[in-house]
């Protein structure tokens, strides 16, 4: 490829990446928060070293920008910045491997055209800071292994940041240690000041460790035990996991990543060892887990980033032609474009859906998200009277009512996920009335109906609320009034008595 042609290719790749980020930024303004995002926003109002469900990284990113302003774009902007930082770090890693800036542009392109990544860095979630720290660890780790010195403490900080975002970051740290050990065995020595990495790594984990030591190691218990359910041995489940991963990561990108993994096994360099040990063992572990339980595809974010960075570097070094690049890039772009259209123009997407499927929406369909602000305003209006407490059995819905309506979050029920919300209110409070907001009628939930019967002098219907999106019903909510809550009513509704 001639130098002018190479320059045009590099510019085009970065241009596509810029357009993708522009679409994500537009979506941050046009799409309301999800329940999980609002829940993480609640965390940001209550700084802590960790939380029951996750480490503190996601809350820290939100706190940097929103400061309780209740602005969806401000909640998400930090995660867009994390996505940009991850892109630049992975580009640096790939360019350093290939000694060619085009590899950096290729890595940025392959990473960002993966459809699932737009979900990961376009919304407020632990995935964006996790991905940022993972990619930074790759770039800094290569420099530390090659040059030593102050790159080692920076490497340790990046590894700690990955763990402080998701506990899956421990797999990255274990891979980094394995790569360093393999490097020493191969070369007979390791670059100077290597000891600084474990020191900064442990120092970076102190908030997580200290909070958990004081709270019964709840973050670790949830990650290692609470979210895992043995569903029996099933090779079919593992195959479905691979099939879904192939689709949502983009067929071409996923196959390029698999090819890069096979190629990296044959490389006997520091970056090759770093890539192999930080990616392949974790992929193998997730496949083994998928034989016994449901595995989330987004757990592949880190290994996928490692392998597409390697794929980009090797593709440039091996001078891939247009056909190879076409197979790697085009399928993913075809899957990504509809997602970006939804982000930029949800109303147009809705109009197309109505034209294709008729003037009906599923009660729990994707456009439900646009009903949350109106519901929150209505519920806030219902609770202006003194002594009325609003409760839900979902941490996400409760947090949304607070974000859009300033309704204090009260979560009842027995679901342990989202249990952090249970610490935000007085379980012995004595409200004059409890207004229960739910997505299903109370009559269809006999366990909750029985609890309300024991907790209240009288249980009455509070009405049905149907909210439209673009003049078409999108979601129905059901309100139940607990009149005259008895002593200990909240503890009864929390399944504590």
Element holding 458 (H helix, E strand) = strand 456-469
Whether residue 92 has pLDDT greater than 60: yes
Separation of CA 453 from chain center:
38
Reported as half-sphere exposure (CB side, CA atoms, 13 A), residue 394 has a value of 12
Tens-digit pLDDT profile for residues 8-46? 889 999 999 999 999 999 988 888 999 999 999 999 999
pLDDT on residue 382: 86
pLDDT on residue 329: 95
Whether residue 223 has pLDDT greater than 70: yes
Q: What are phi and psi of 470, to 5 degrees?
A: 55, 45
- Residue 482 zone, left/alpha/beta (φ > 0; ψ -120 to 50; rest): beta
Strand partners, 391: 436
Q: What are phi and psi of 163, to 5 degrees?
A: -70, -40
Separation of CA 389 from chain center:
31
Q: Is 207 helix (H, G, I), strand (E, B) or coil?
A: helix
Domain residue ranges in the chain? 3-344, 366-493
Strand runs (DSSP E) across 318-401, as ranges? 388-391
- Residues 6 or more apart from 451 whose CB is under 8 A from it? 492, 493, 495
Highest averaged pLDDT of the listed ranges 347-356, 393-402, 416-425: 393-402
- Residues 6 or more apart from 385 whose CB is under 8 A from it? none
Q: Is 285 helix (H, G, I), strand (E, B) or coil?
A: helix
Between residues 332 and 188, which one has the greater pLDDT? 332
Record the tokens describing residue 391, joined without a space: 């409760």
Whether residue 227 has pLDDT greater than 90: no
Whether residue 6 has pLDDT greater than 90: no
CA 285, 288, 293, 298: dihedral to nearest 10 degrees?
A: 40
Tens-digit pLDDT profile for residues 349-393? 655 655 555 555 555 556 788 999 999 999 999 887 778 999 999
Q: Is 478 helix (H, G, I), strand (E, B) or coil?
A: strand
| pLDDT band, very low/low/confident/very high, at 454 (cuts 50, 70, 90) | very high
Beta-sheet strand order (sheet of 456-469): 388-391, 433-438, 472-485, 456-469
Q: Give the C-alpha separation, 123 to 127, whole Å.
A: 9
- Residues 6 or more apart from 269 whose CB is under 8 A from it? none
Element holding 226 (H helix, E strand) = none
Q: What percent of the chain has pLDDT over 90?
A: 77
Q: Give the C-alpha separation, 178 to 172, whole Å.
A: 10
Strand partners, 479: 437, 463
pLDDT on residue 97: 97
Whether residue 347 has pLDDT greater than 80: no
Reported as half-sphere exposure (CB side, CA atoms, 13 A), residue 366 has a value of 9
User: Which residue is it, tokens 């020191």?
Assistant: 199
Element holding 462 (H helix, E strand) = strand 456-469
User: Which residue is it, tokens 């990113």?
Assistant: 61
Tens-digit pLDDT profile for residues 141-186? 999 999 999 999 999 999 999 999 999 999 999 999 999 999 988 8
pTM for the structure as a whole: 0.93
Q: Of 65-69, 131-135, 355-359, 412-416, where does mean pLDDT reach its minimum?
A: 355-359
């Amino acid at each position: 490829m001639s130098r002018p042609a190479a320059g045009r290719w590099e510019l085009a790749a970065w241009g596509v990446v810029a357009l993708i980020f522009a679409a994500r930024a537009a979506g941050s303004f046009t799409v309301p928060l999800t329940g999980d995002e609002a829940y993480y926003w609640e965390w940001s109002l209550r700084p802590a070293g960790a939380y029951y469900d996750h480490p503190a990284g996601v809350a820290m990113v939100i706190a940097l920008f929103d400061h309780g302003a209740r602005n969806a774009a401000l909640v998400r902007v930090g995660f867009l910045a994390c996505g940009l930082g991850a892109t630049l770090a992975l580009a640096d890693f790939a360019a350093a491997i290939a000694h060619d800036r085009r590899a950096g542009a290729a890595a940025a392109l392959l990473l960002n055209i993966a459809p699932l990544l737009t979900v990961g860095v376009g919304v407020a979630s632990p995935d964006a800071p996790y991905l940022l720290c993972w990619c930074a660890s790759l770039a800094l780790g290569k420099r530390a292994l090659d040059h030593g010195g102050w790159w080692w403490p920076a490497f340790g900080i990046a590894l700690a940041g990955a763990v402080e975002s998701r506990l899956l970051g421990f797999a990255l740290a274990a891979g980094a240690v394995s790569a360093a050990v393999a490097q020493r065995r191969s070369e007979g020595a390791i670059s100077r000041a290597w000891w600084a990495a474990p020191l900064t790594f442990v120092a970076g984990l102190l908030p997580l460790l200290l909070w958990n030591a004081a709270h019964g190691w709840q973050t670790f218990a949830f990650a290692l035990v609470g979210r895992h359910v043995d569903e029996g041995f099933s090779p079919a489940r593992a195959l479905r996991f691979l099939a879904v991963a192939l689709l949502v990561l983009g067929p071409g990108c996923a196959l390029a990543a698999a090819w890069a993994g096979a190629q990296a096994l044959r490389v006997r360099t520091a970056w090759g060892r770093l890539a192999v040990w930080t990616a392949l063992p974790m992929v193998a572990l997730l496949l083994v887990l998928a034989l016994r339980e449901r595995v989330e595809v987004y757990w592949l974010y880190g290994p996928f980033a490692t392998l597409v960075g390697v794929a980009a570097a090797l593709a440039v070094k091996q001078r891939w032609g247009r056909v190879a690049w076409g197979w790697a890039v085009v399928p993913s772009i075809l899957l990504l474009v509809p997602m970006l259209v939804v982000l930029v123009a949800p109303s147009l997407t809705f109009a197309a859906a109505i034209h294709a499927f008729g003037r009906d929406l599923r009660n729990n369909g994707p456009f439900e998200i646009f009903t949350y602000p109106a519901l929150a305003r209505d519920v806030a209006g219902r609770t202006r009277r003194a002594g009325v407490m609003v409760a839900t059995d979902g941490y996400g819905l409760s947090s949304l009512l607070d974000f859009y309506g300033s309704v204090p979050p009260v979560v009842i029920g027995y679901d342990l996920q989202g249990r952090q919300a249970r610490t935000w209110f007085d379980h012995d409070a004595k409200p004059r009335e409890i207004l229960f907001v739910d997505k299903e009628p109370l009559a269809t939930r006999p366990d909750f109906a029985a609890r309300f019967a024991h907790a209240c002098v009288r249980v009455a219907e509070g009405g049905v609320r149907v909210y439209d999106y673009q003049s078409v019903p999108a979601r129905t909510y059901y309100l139940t009034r607990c009149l005259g809550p008895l002593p200990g009513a909240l503890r009864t509704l929390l399944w504590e008595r």
